[in-house]
């Protein structure tokens, strides 16, 4: 799981090429400043499905994080000899009276976990409540993007405290003035809304661009909005991603959906592992493709030779094809809950992506379009990598030659959802 971090690169969108769109971008920035959701984003934790491994005493998960990394000598020691059995052995060495009191503390800890679970349930309800306040702003954002509404001059006013933004604004003004002179000489039709808004975001964010294929891009040009819907009060905790498309030549669906189901309760068999809500399952939707337009499959031709007669015939068949739209056909956990390692990693990455859409892309869309959101994420990532570098230096001082053990290829981990085939 350590390889499933958000790795984002700076967005190289050429804003100069969007002269004439400057006022719309400013309006979106203005609304985005007031409409950044994810109020309690720091409270939510995304993990892979937790499943017990019956062969290790029931204390491990199939996909785990290196809990000891970066703790040095002051943290936990080597995981060797620190499994459930060793803790049991440590407890067995305690005097009977002390052990009895430790058991009492554990019962209190379980009660704390149950209270914490209720806390997160109320946070979910509060987030659902405030989503209703954000939605009118998101609706107006959609209308500006699609060109349904043209923002007023007042709505396009934007005061920035950042020197870089002021310089960019001045540069845009100069280019806009040049373009106005050109328009006077050779009038051109003003683009409608902000063309390819969501596609630009997809191409600028590593986590999403890794899922994107060239044949996906013409389809995503028709994407006009992405929304997050929370489960109704009293219903099991979940959220739904809704991808709204304008009429297009690829499929009949107006909306494609992806539901992520969560739970916020300690496991009876392992209550001490509870750290907050978990995404435990997801479900996509059936895409009603137009004939010959399904990009999730491809047709291949294969020659077959008859063993007896020696004649050759050509057969065609459809095979799965890499595509972002496989996102809507996720891997399903079997009735027995068993999955191979690759499938589990793919599903865990899917959960990460769903969470990222919900907490970052949807509430901060304009900032990912301009690249400012990517700069913030890169700053956070650089700080994290620096801390990891310090840990590695500490390990070198200790003469530890096992630094590469357990490393996960980050690029592969992020690219896994693109390999999610039609089932």
Tell me the average pLDDT across 168-195. 74
Question: Which of the residue ranges 3-7, 118-122, 192-196 would you say has the lowest mean pLDDT?
Answer: 3-7
For the chain, percent of residues with pLDDT exceeding 90: 40
Choose among 392, 386, 405: nearest CA to 79: 405
**More confident position, 415 or 192:** 192
Backbone angles phi, psi at 328, to 5 degrees: -90, 10
Tell me the average pLDDT across 171-181. 74
Give tens-digit pLDDT for 267-302. 888 888 888 888 888 999 999 999 999 999 998 888
293 torsion bin: left (phi>0), alpha (psi -120 to 50), beta (else):
alpha
DSSP summary character for residue 359: I
Where do we find the tokens 């900032």? 367
Q: What is the mean pLDDT of the chain?
A: 74
Give tens-digit pLDDT for 240-253. 999 999 999 999 99
The predicted pLDDT at position 182 comes to 64
Q: How far apart are CA 113 and CA 277, in angstroms?
A: 12
Choose among 368, 388, 364, 365: nearest CA to 378: 368
For the chain, percent of residues with pLDDT exceeding 70: 64
pTM: 0.67
Q: Is the pLDDT of residue 165 over 80?
A: no
Give tens-digit pLDDT for 342-381. 888 888 899 999 999 999 999 999 999 999 988 766 654 5
The predicted pLDDT at position 184 comes to 62
Q: How far apart are CA 304 and CA 247, in angstroms?
A: 41
């Amino acid at each position: 799981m350590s390889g499933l971090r958000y790795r984002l690169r700076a967005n190289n969108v050429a804003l100069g090429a969007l002269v004439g769109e400057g006022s719309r971008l400013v309006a979106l920035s203005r609304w985005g400043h007031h409409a950044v959701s994810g109020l309690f984003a720091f409270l939510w934790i995304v993990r892979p499905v937790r499943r017990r491994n019956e062969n290790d005493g029931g204390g491990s998960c199939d996909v785990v994080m290196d809990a000891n990394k970066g703790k040095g000598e002051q943290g936990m020691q080597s995981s060797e000899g620190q499994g459930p059995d060793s803790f049991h052995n440590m407890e067995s060495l305690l005097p009977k009276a002390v052990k009895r009191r430790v058991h009492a503390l554990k019962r209190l800890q379980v009660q704390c976990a149950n209270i914490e679970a209720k806390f997160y349930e109320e946070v979910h309800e509060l987030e659902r409540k405030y989503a209703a306040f954000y939605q009118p702003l998101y609706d107006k954002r959609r209308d500006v993007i699609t060109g349904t509404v043209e923002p007023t001059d007042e709505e396009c006013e934007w005061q920035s405290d950042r020197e870089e933004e002021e310089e960019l604004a001045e540069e845009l003004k100069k280019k806009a003035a040049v373009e106005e002179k050109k328009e006077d000489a050779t009038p051109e039709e003003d683009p409608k809304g902000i063309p390819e808004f969501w596609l630009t975001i997809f191409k600028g964010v590593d986590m999403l661009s890794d899922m994107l294929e060239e044949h996906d891009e013409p389809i995503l040009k028709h994407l006009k909005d992405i929304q997050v819907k929370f489960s109704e009060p009293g219903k099991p905790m979940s959220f739904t991603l809704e991808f709204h498309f304008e009429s297009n030549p690829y499929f009949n669906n107006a909306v494609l959906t992806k539901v992520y189901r969560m739970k916020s309760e300690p496991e009876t068999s392992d209550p001490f592992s509870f750290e907050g809500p978990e995404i435990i399952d997801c479900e996509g939707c059936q895409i009603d493709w137009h004939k010959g337009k399904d990009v999730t499959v491809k047709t291949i031709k294969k020659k077959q030779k008859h063993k007896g007669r020696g004649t050759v015939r050509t057969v065609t068949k459809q095979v799965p094809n890499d595509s972002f739209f496989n996102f809507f056909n996720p891997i399903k956990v079997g009735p027995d809950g068993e999955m191979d390692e690759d499938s589990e990693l793919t599903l865990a990455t899917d959960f990460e992506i769903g969470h990222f859409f919900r907490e970052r892309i949807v509430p901060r869309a304009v900032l990912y379009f301009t690249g400012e959101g990517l700069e913030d994420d890169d700053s956070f990532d650089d700080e994290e990598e620096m801390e990891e570098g310090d840990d590695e230096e500490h390990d070198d001082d200790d003469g530890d030659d096992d630094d590469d053990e357990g490393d996960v290829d980050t690029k592969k981990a992020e690219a896994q959802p693109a390999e999610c085939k039609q089932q």
